[in-house]
């Protein structure tokens, strides 16, 4: 019992996976930004008041579903342009790490609004983003990879001590919620596939990659034309999805399970064209790779600092003082001599 209490005390005193959730925030912001930019040229046709989905029909559907969207407030083209471009700015600020939790909440509102405006373009990553971004609001996802303004620190310093001490437990609670959500996604997806006849026969990958909406013409045929890749890929997918939580529970297997998951979803993005879904899943997988990300960032920072120090410690080129006392003709001769050319390269 004492060990359990000690672990609980440690869990409330030291934040976990700070680098991981910071990476999750960056990548989720980038996914939203990519969605806006990829549809920017056709924005009026896809999301505008006179788009392929008329504004009144869209407003009726939102009211029927009990949902909300900023685009339903007005049918004006000017309002549409304002909301759309503000959404781009919000996604960019989240990616860069500007604005803190308030900016992240604003980004979530704009993202929900644009996703509701045209649901036929969604690939499944939107459902996970809806759930994970509110969980990120509990975490310290702006501690790394961001440009802090200091406003949040000043506001936090004015809060009572009883409120400030809850920051770390809330952060860890948010990380735990994201981890449980990911495990739930994997298990439910795996068990759902197990019930399908094509997944049981080992042929599901053949049919999935031949669907026009989920195929990459230059690469998908390399998989579905190979019987071994189809058979092994189908069964490995089911086994991985079902047993992923077990790999997460074992600390020694956790980074390997996360790396396998990232590779798995990058393959989905490459061969099936579900880029938004793949990057959203990868973003959430970074929660399990916080230590590796921290070591990689520390290593890269150290290397950059050493390279900068070497550049500053490099001695000046020989012959620079000779030019102060020699005539102009002598300077020209020194610069064209082999010795001064060699010294210039060394410098």
pLDDT at 340: 40
pLDDT tens for 26-38 read 999 999 999 999 9
Mean pLDDT of 260-275: 90
Q: How confident is the model at residue 45 (pLDDT cuts 50, 70, 90)?
A: very high
Give the length of the chain: 347
Given the structure tokens 């209490």, which residue do they identify? 5
pLDDT at 326: 45
- Of 311 and 331, the one with more pLDDT: 311
Distances (CA, A) of 76 to 20, 49, 260: 41, 7, 47
pLDDT at 316: 58
Given the structure tokens 């920051």, which residue do they identify? 167
What residues have CB less than 8 Å from 93, skipping those under 6 apart? Answer: 29, 99, 103, 107
Residues 24 and 307: their CA atoms lie apart, in Å, by 29
Contact predicate 263/8, CB 8 Å = no
| pTM (predicted TM-score) | 0.82
pLDDT at 266: 92
- When the pLDDT of each residue in the chain is averaged and rounded to a whole number, the result is 85
Mean pLDDT of 307-328: 61
Cα-to-chain-centroid distance, residue 25? 6
Is the model's pLDDT at 334 over the cut of 60?
A: no
Q: Tokens at residue 60, please?
A: 């009726």
pLDDT at 333: 43
Contact predicate 254/248, CB 8 Å = yes
What residues have CB less than 8 Å from 58, skipping those under 6 apart? Answer: 69, 71, 72, 117
pLDDT at 311: 80
Residues 311 and 318: their CA atoms lie apart, in Å, by 16
pLDDT at 3: 72
Q: How confident is the model at residue 11 (pLDDT cuts 50, 70, 90)?
A: low
What residues have CB less than 8 Å from 125, skipping those under 6 apart? Answer: 31, 274, 276, 277, 278, 279, 280, 281
Q: How confident is the model at residue 343 (pLDDT cuts 50, 70, 90)?
A: very low
Contact predicate 175/21, CB 8 Å = yes
Mean pLDDT of 68-75: 94
pLDDT tens for 147-168 read 877 776 777 777 777 777 888 8
Contact predicate 177/128, CB 8 Å = no
């Amino acid at each position: 019992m004492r060990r359990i209490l000690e672990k609980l005390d440690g869990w409330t005193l030291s934040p976990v996976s700070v680098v991981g959730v910071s990476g999750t925030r960056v990548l989720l912001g980038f996914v939203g930004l990519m969605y806006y930019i990829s549809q920017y040229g056709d924005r009026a046709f896809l999301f505008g008041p006179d788009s392929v989905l008329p504004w009144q029909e869209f407003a009726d559907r939102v009211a029927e579903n009990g949902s909300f969207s900023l685009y339903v407030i007005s049918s004006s083209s000017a309002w549409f342009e304002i909301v759309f471009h503000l959404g781009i700015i919000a996604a960019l600020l989240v990616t860069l790490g500007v604005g803190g939790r308030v900016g992240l909440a604003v980004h979530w509102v704009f993202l929900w609004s644009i996703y509701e405006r045209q649901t036929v373009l969604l690939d499944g990553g939107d459902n996970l983003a809806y759930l994970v971004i509110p969980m990120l609001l509990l975490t310290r996802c702006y501690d790394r990879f961001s440009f802090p303004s200091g406003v949040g620190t000043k506001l936090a310093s004015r809060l009572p001590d009883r409120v400030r001490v809850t920051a770390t437990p809330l952060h860890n609670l948010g990380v735990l919620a994201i981890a449980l959500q990911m495990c739930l996604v994997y298990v439910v997806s795996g068990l759902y596939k197990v019930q399908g006849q094509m997944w049981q026969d080992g042929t599901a990958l053949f049919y999935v990659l031949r669907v026009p909406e989920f195929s990459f013409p230059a690469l998908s045929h390399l998989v579905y034309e190979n019987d071994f890749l189809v058979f092994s890929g189908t069964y490995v997918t089911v086994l991985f999805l079902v047993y992923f939580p077990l790999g997460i529970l074992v600390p020694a297997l956790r980074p390997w399970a996360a790396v396998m998951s990232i590779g798995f979803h990058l393959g989905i993005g490459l061969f099936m064209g579900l880029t938004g879904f793949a990057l959203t899943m990868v973003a959430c997988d970074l929660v399990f790779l916080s230590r590796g990300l921290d070591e990689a960032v520390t290593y890269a920072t150290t290397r950059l600092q050493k390279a900068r120090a070497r550049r500053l410690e490099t001695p000046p080129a020989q012959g620079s003082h000779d030019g102060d006392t020699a005539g102009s003709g002598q300077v020209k001769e020194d610069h064209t001599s082999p010795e001064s050319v060699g010294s210039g390269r060394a410098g």
